[in-house]
Structure 1
Amino acid sequence: MEELLDPALGSVRVFLVHDDNKARKLRYNLGPARILTFGGAYSGHIRAVAAAGLRHGFETIGVIRGEEHLPLNPSLAHAVACGMRLDYLDRAAYRLKHTAETQARLRERWGEVTILPEGGSNAAAVRGCAELPGELGGDYDVICCPVGTGGTLAGIAAGLPEGRRALGFAVLKGAGFLTGEVARLQREAYGRVWSNWSINLDYHFGGYARTTPALKRFIAKYQVEGVYVAKMLYGILDLVRQGAFPGGTRIVAVVTGQPLTSVAECGAPTGLDSGEPRWRR
C-alpha cells in the first residue's frame, strides 16, 4: 500500500491500493468463444475485454455508444488492435441495450455470443471483486472505491471481514439508483444483501467524465486518473475535513483500473505510475 500524505487528514490515515478491477470483473466471465459487450468511446471496460480476448484467444465485439468517428480515438484504436470488432448504437438505441429486443437484434447480426453488461458488472464480476479484501495486508476500518455500475462495490462489500465497511463514491450524476443496483448484484451473486456499505452521491462534479476547475486542480496536484479515482480521493479528503471519519480511522482507497498503453503494446496495460512525491510507500 501507499500512504497519502496531506496535513488536512490529521490523525486519519489513507492508504492507496492499486487494483485492476476490470480484470477482476472478467476473471469469472471468461470462457465463451465470443463475447459481446457495451461501452462508451473511452471505456476502460471495452479495452479490458479486447485485451482479454487477445490474451486468451476468444472473439470480442464492442458495441459503442454513439456514432462512429474516424480516425478512432486511442481507446478504440487499442481495442481494434487487440482484435475487437466494433459496432455502434445511437444514444437512443443504446439506452435500450439491456432489452430482449435489442439483444436479439445484436445476436442476429453477430451470431451466438455471450453478452456482458456495460462495465462488466454481473454476478460473476461481483465474485471476482469480492476477492480483493482478502488480499489486503494490514489493518483498516473503511475501504473506499469509485462507483460507476456498482459491481466493484458489491463485491468488495461482500468480501469484507466482520467489522469493516465499504464506502463508494458515485461518478454519475443522479446516481441514487446505484443503491438498488449494488443490492441486486449481491443478491444475484450470493442470494443475500450485506448492510456494510453505502454510496456517497455528492462528488460527481457534474456527471460521468465531467469536471470542474477545482477537480482539475486536484488532478494536477495529485497526478491521478480523473474520471473515477480523483472524484473518490477528493471526496475522501473533503469528508475528513468535515469530520465524517473519527480520528485514527484507517481508510483504504482502491485506485481502480489501469491506464491505456500504446496500441503497439496491446495486451496487459502497465500499472498506474505513482511516482508523485506526495504518495509514500
Structure 2
Amino acid sequence: MTIQQLESLLNINLPSKEQTILLDDTQITVKRDDSIHSIISGNKWRKVKFQLLDALENNTKHIISFGGGFSNHLHALGYYCRQLNIKLTAIVRGDYSQNLSPMLQDLIAWKSDIRYVNKLTYQARTDSYLNTLQTEFPQALIIPEGGSSHFALQGVGELISELSQEYDYIIAPVASGGTLAGLIQEVSKQSLKTKVLGIGVLKGQGYLEDLVNDLLPKEHASSNWQIMHDFHFGGYAKKNAELIQYCDKFYQQHKIEIEPIYSGKLFYAIELLIQNTYFPKSSRILALHTGGLQGTR
C-alpha cells in the first residue's frame, strides 16, 4: 500500500487549501489543515501517516499512545485504528472513568482500550513506564504523545511542497514539537529563506525548544526558527474571556472556526505581532491552522 492509497482509504483531503484573509489590514494566508477530514484533526494526520503505513506493512495489530482526556491526537488515532482494524490502547492522563469527555466517548464507541494513569505514571511515559508497556506488549507499536516522533517530520514536511509560493514566515502552534520540527527540516532541505515561527501554547520556555531540537537531525539543524512564549495565556488549555471573545470574533469576520487551545492562541499572537510591526512591510505570512476543534466540545 502507498501513502496515497492509505489517504484515499481514509478519505483524507490533501493538499489542504491556502485561504487569504486580512488581519489588522494585513494580508496573510491560512493553510487550512483543519479541513482535510471531518473527524481527523489537521496536523494529526501528517504526524502519524508514515507510522500507520509502516504498521500496516508490518501487519501490526496493536498501537499504544498517550494523551489527556480531550486529546486531539488520541481522537484521530482512535478513528484511524477503528477504520484499519488495529487495536488502540490509549494511555490517558487522569481518571475520567466517572466523567467521560466527548473524546473518550468516541474512543469507547470505536472500541479502543482506555487506561487511566496518574500524573506520576504518565510523566514516566518516555522511560520507566514506556519500558513496562514494551515488556507487556512486545508486538505493539508505541507512538509518542501528540504523534511527535522522527516519523512525523516527513509527513509534516510534505506541507511545504504543497504551497503555492515561498513565504517569508510560516507560523504554527507548538505543544509537542513535531509539527515545528517537520517544518524546520523541510525548509532546511529545500534551502528556503522562510523563517519558521512557533507560538508556544503552554508554559515551556527552553522545554519546547528542546523537544524540537531532539527531533531534528543534525544535518537539518537551523537557526532560522524561533518559539514565542508570550501567548500561552497561563498554560496548556488555559484561557480567559479575552481569548474566547477573540475566537468568536475571528469566526464572525473570517468564517474560519478556531479554538482557544491551539489555533486561537496562534491567530491572536499573529494579530498582535502585526499590530506591533514585528513583520517587515509586505512580508508573505502563512499561518498553519492545525485543527483541534473537537477538543473544545
Q: Compute the TM-score of the two structures, normalised by the length of structure 1.
A: 0.85
User: What is the aligned-residue identity percentage?
Assistant: 32
Check whether the contact 2:65–2:89 (CA below 8 A) recurs between aligned residues: yes
Whether 1:171 and 2:201 are equivalent positions in the alignment is yes
- Give the whole-Å Cα distance in 2 for the aligned partners of 1:66 and 1:110: 22
Whether 1:14 and 2:18 are equivalent positions in the alignment is no
Pairs within 5 Å for 1:43-192: 43-99=71-127, 101-110=128-137, 112-160=139-187, 161=190, 162-187=192-217, 191-192=219-220
Whether 1:2 and 2:19 are equivalent positions in the alignment is yes
Partner of 1:275: none
- Give the whole-Å Cα distance in 2 for the aligned partners of 1:210 and 1:112: 38
Whether 1:249 and 2:283 are equivalent positions in the alignment is yes
CA displacement at 1:180 relative to structure 2: 1.7
* AA aligned opposite 2:196: A
CA displacement at 1:106 relative to structure 2: 2.5
Matched residue count: 255
Give the 3-state SS of the residue equivalent to 2:285 in structure 1.
Answer: strand
- Give the whole-Å Cα distance in 2 for the aligned partners of 1:69 and 1:221: 35
Gaps of 5+ in 1: 262-281
- Give the whole-Å Cα distance in 1 for the aligned partners of 2:146 and 2:273: 27
Structure holding more helix per residue: 2
CA displacement at 1:139 relative to structure 2: 4.1
Partner of 2:293: 259
Greater mean deviation of Cα atoms: 110-119 or 25-34? 110-119
Deviations 1:92-124 (A, max 9, x none): 21111111x212333455553211111110000
- Give the whole-Å Cα distance in 1 for the aligned partners of 2:111 and 2:48: 17
Partner of 2:3: none
Pairs within 5 Å for 1:178-257: 178-187=208-217, 191-223=219-251, 224-257=258-291
Check whether the contact 1:75–1:260 (CA below 8 A) recurs between aligned residues: yes
Whether 1:25 and 2:47 are equivalent positions in the alignment is yes
Q: Compute the TM-score of the two structures, normalised by the length of structure 2.
A: 0.81
- Give the whole-Å Cα distance in 1 for the aligned partners of 2:108 and 2:143: 18
* AA aligned opposite 2:19: E
* AA aligned opposite 1:69: S
Deviations 1:30-67 (A, max 9, x none): 11321100000000000011111112221111000011
- Give the whole-Å Cα distance in 1 for the aligned partners of 2:136 and 2:227: 38
- Give the whole-Å Cα distance in 2 for the aligned partners of 1:36 and 1:144: 30
* AA aligned opposite 1:4: I
Check whether the contact 1:176–1:201 (CA below 8 A) recurs between aligned residues: no
Give the 3-state SS of the residue equivalent to 1:132 in structure 2.
Answer: helix
Specify whether residues 244 and 117 from structure 1 end up closer, same or farther in structure 2 by C-alpha distance, changes over 3 A only.
Answer: same
- Give the whole-Å Cα distance in 2 for the aligned partners of 1:137 and 1:180: 31
Check whether the contact 1:22–1:44 (CA below 8 A) recurs between aligned residues: yes
Higher relative contact order (CA 8 A, sep 6+): 1
* AA aligned opposite 2:71: S
* AA aligned opposite 1:241: Q
* AA aligned opposite 2:195: R
CA displacement at 1:191 relative to structure 2: 4.6
